[in-house]
A and B are shown apart, each in its own frame.
Chain A
Amino acid sequence: MYYKTTGYRIFNVFNIALLIFLSIMCVVPLVHVLAVSFSAKAAADANLVGLWPVQFSLEAYKKTMFNPIFLHSIWISVLRTVIGTAITLMLTFLAAYPLSKDESAFRGRTIYSWLFVFSMVFTGGLVPFYIVIQKLGLIDSFWVLVLPGAVNTFLVILMMNFFRGIPKELEEAAFIDGAGPFRTLFTMYLPISMPSIATITLFSMVFHWNSWFDGLLYLNNSNQFPLATFLQTVIIQQDMSSMSSSPQEMELISQTTVKAAQIFIGAAPILIVYPFLQKFFVKGMTLGSVKE
């Protein structure tokens, strides 16, 4: 066998070393942040922390957890994630079922599918979108975080392809027993669609938790920011003016260790659902691809 030759064995050792090195490079930055967040302020400010906390301290997390603006932004993020995902799930599930029909079974299906696809291919751009949001009265409203992205064509396609894989006989049996499309969808399709519903739920949750630009663009009051937007202004823009707080508080949120703690808390939910993410995203990634 080829893997018993000396040449291949040497290659194999180098290959494994290289790949392990690259994978470590992918997680090292997060480990560093974690180490900084658990370090003492002085050590962190002097850039002494590598991948292990220096003078272990929980100070940064204590300060972060007593910051009401930070806590409130977490609450907004949780709200938008839960409500936004629920709306997206409902819309996607309802829309994908009729779209999974052939044109012969559902006249008009082609027109609908083009409307979905075209919305993905062409956009009006940032400025007209902003003005529409303004005219709809959504500026400074919580709903601006939830409604504009509620329909995602990519997720509809994912769901639609899943429905197409379900044997037609199942549905025919339901029809013969006298169930209408709604009943068929909710009592028969819903229970067997759980794997793809889980995929869509995870996609949508990650999208909402990570979204920051909508908050920055449409919300003027930092009290309404979701966590991602709050982090963007505090850590990236280092804009303390919008936080309307006293100098002590400003110093508090700009400390290296506190920043690191905030970053880590922002990433934590993703890390928690990561085992599921890996499982379902890999499926989702290949689900919508090449078909025979």
Chain B
Amino acid sequence: MKTLRKTWPFHVMLLPSMIFLLLFSYVPMAGIVMAFQDYKPWLGFTGSEWVGLDNFRYLFERQDSVQVIWNTLIIAVLKLVFNLFVPFIFALLLNEIRRVRLQRTIQTMVYLPHFLSWVILGGILIDLLATDGFVNRILSTFGVQPIFFLGDNDWFRFTVIVSDVWKEFGYNTIIFLAALAGINPALYEAAEMDGASRFRQTLHITIPSIVPIAAVVGTLALGNVLNAGFDQIFNLYNPLVYEKGDIIDTFVYRTAILNGEMGFGTAIGLFKSVISMVLILLSYRAAYKWANYRIF
């Protein structure tokens, strides 16, 4: 108790945050019991009927929910891959520009979309990508028939992934640029002496130096395999593209909040949470073990 006399102010400092965490993180966790109930708001947790694993069985039997899980996986994995490679290559190319002012200006422009919300960007994209919109007008000058980017199941995923990469690639280069700045210039000088071309220098010095960072970024992103981006999909989709574009989070919103299937909605949410948690723990463990990366 001697230590407590000295450290009580620390506990007091943490108390407010703990109250918030308890109310808005830990109490809702207790609510996952609903996943095993046929929850009815007017009956509550204690009065609703227990149904065991029925909600989960239902989840894998219903055609729409299985489709939604597939959609989520496909969209999330494609985003993950492109959000790693595009910034990687962009950082390499940007690193070749030796005029500092130009480099800064380019950075300023490409970071911008990251800070705008999907409501703003959604509003803009719906207008730009309409069949008679700006993009289709430019395409038509090349003789391309109008494309219904946001209303055609063959195009929707493409549009979602491209627009997500467009929004985030600039911001995602930051970490690579930091790694590039940390490369020892003596390596390049030595290569220069040996007569290596810039391409060979890139191949044998630059890329090997930033691959470890890319590996860490890629590993940590694994926790998002079931996160296909609620904000984006919700602001871009419409009933025409539910087949290919509906994801777990938007599906939960519609079934649970709009249609009132509370137990079922909780079950899908829990399914997602558990898988994500396992992936996050595994990926952080791997990042710590191989790259000595620690966040906390």
Q: Are A47 and B132 in contact (CB under 8 A)?
A: yes
Which B-chain residue is minimally distant from A47 (CB atoms)? B132
Min Cβ gap A263→B in Å is 5
Contacting residue for A23 out of B21, B105, B197, B198, CB 8 A: B105
Q: Evaluate whether A126 and B269 lie within 8 angstroms (CB atoms) in the complex, with A121-B281, A182-B9 already known.
A: yes
Give chain A's interface secondary structure class: helix
Contacting residue for A26 out of B21, B110, B122, B280, CB 8 A: B110
Q: Are B178 and A286 in contact (CB under 8 A)?
A: yes
Q: Evaluate whether A32 and B134 lie within 8 angstroms (CB atoms) in the complex, with A125-B252, A127-B31 already known.
A: yes
**Chain A residues within an 8 Å CB radius of B28:** 123-125, 128-129, 131-132
Which B-chain residue is minimally distant from A113 (CB atoms)? B296
**Chain A residues within an 8 Å CB radius of B257:** 126-127, 130, 217
Within 8 A of B (CB), among A32-79: 32-33, 36, 47, 50
Segment of A144-152, A190-198, A244-252 engaged in the interface with chain B: A144-152
Min Cβ gap A271→B in Å is 8
Q: Are A94 and B266 in contact (CB under 8 A)?
A: no
Q: Are A91 and B17 in contact (CB under 8 A)?
A: yes
Interface assignment of B124: CB less than 8 Å from any CB of chain A: yes
Interface assignment of A231: CB less than 8 Å from any CB of chain B: yes
How many interface residues does B have (CB within 8 Å)?
Answer: 96
Contacting residue for A288 out of B23, B201, B295, CB 8 A: B295
**Chain B residues within an 8 Å CB radius of A132:** 23-24, 27-28, 31
Q: Are A30 and B111 in contact (CB under 8 A)?
A: no
For the complex, give the distance between the alpha carbons of A270 and B112 in Å.
9
Give chain B's interface secondary structure class: helix
Which A-chain residue is minimally distant from B8 (CB atoms)? A181
Q: Evaluate whether A231 and B119 lie within 8 angstroms (CB atoms) in the complex, with A125-B270, A182-B9 already known.
A: yes
Which A-chain residue is minimally distant from B265 (CB atoms)? A127
Q: Evaluate whether A267 and B273 lie within 8 angstroms (CB atoms) in the complex, with A106-B10, A286-B174 already known.
A: no
**Chain A residues within an 8 Å CB radius of B180:** none
Interface assignment of B184: CB less than 8 Å from any CB of chain A: no
**Chain A residues within an 8 Å CB radius of B192:** 1-2
**Chain B residues within an 8 Å CB radius of A22:** 90, 110
Interface assignment of A241: CB less than 8 Å from any CB of chain B: no
Q: Are B25 and A12 in contact (CB under 8 A)?
A: no
How many interface residues does A have (CB within 8 Å)?
Answer: 99
**Chain B residues within an 8 Å CB radius of A256:** 127
Which B-chain residue is minimally distant from A107 (CB atoms)? B3
Within 8 A of A (CB), among B15-41: 16-18, 20-21, 23-32, 34, 41
Min Cβ gap B28→A in Å is 4
For the complex, give the distance between the alpha carbons of A19 and B25 in Å.
43
Interface assignment of B166: CB less than 8 Å from any CB of chain A: yes
Q: Evaluate whether A2 and B201 lie within 8 angstroms (CB atoms) in the complex, with A98-B10, A132-B24 already known.
A: yes
For the complex, give the distance between the alpha carbons of A117 and B26 in Å.
12
Q: Are B128 and A16 in contact (CB under 8 A)?
A: no
Interface assignment of A176: CB less than 8 Å from any CB of chain B: no
Q: Are A127 and B119 in contact (CB under 8 A)?
A: no
Which B-chain residue is minimally distant from A8 (CB atoms)? B198
Interface centre among A19, A99, A107, A211 (most CB of B within 10 A): A19
Interface assignment of B74: CB less than 8 Å from any CB of chain A: no
Q: Evaluate whether A285 and B175 lie within 8 angstroms (CB atoms) in the complex, with A132-B27, A290-B216 already known.
A: yes
**Chain A residues within an 8 Å CB radius of B230:** 213
Q: Are B21 and A115 in contact (CB under 8 A)?
A: yes
Q: Are B198 and A127 in contact (CB under 8 A)?
A: no
Interface assignment of B151: CB less than 8 Å from any CB of chain A: no
- Listed by A's residue number, 19 A-B pairs whose Cβ atoms lie within 8 Å are A2-B197, A16-B102, A47-B133, A108-B11, A116-B17, A125-B28, A126-B252, A126-B257, A126-B269, A127-B31, A149-B24, A217-B257, A232-B119, A232-B235, A263-B120, A278-B108, A282-B174, A285-B171, A289-B293
> Could you list which residues of chain A lie within 8 angstroms of chain B, going by C-beta atoms?
1-3, 5, 7-8, 11-12, 15-16, 18-20, 22-27, 29-30, 32-33, 36, 47, 50, 90-91, 94-95, 97-99, 101, 105-109, 112-113, 115-117, 119, 121-132, 136, 147-151, 156-157, 180-182, 185, 206, 209-213, 217, 228, 231-232, 235-236, 256, 259-260, 263, 266-267, 270, 274, 277-278, 281-282, 285-286, 288-291
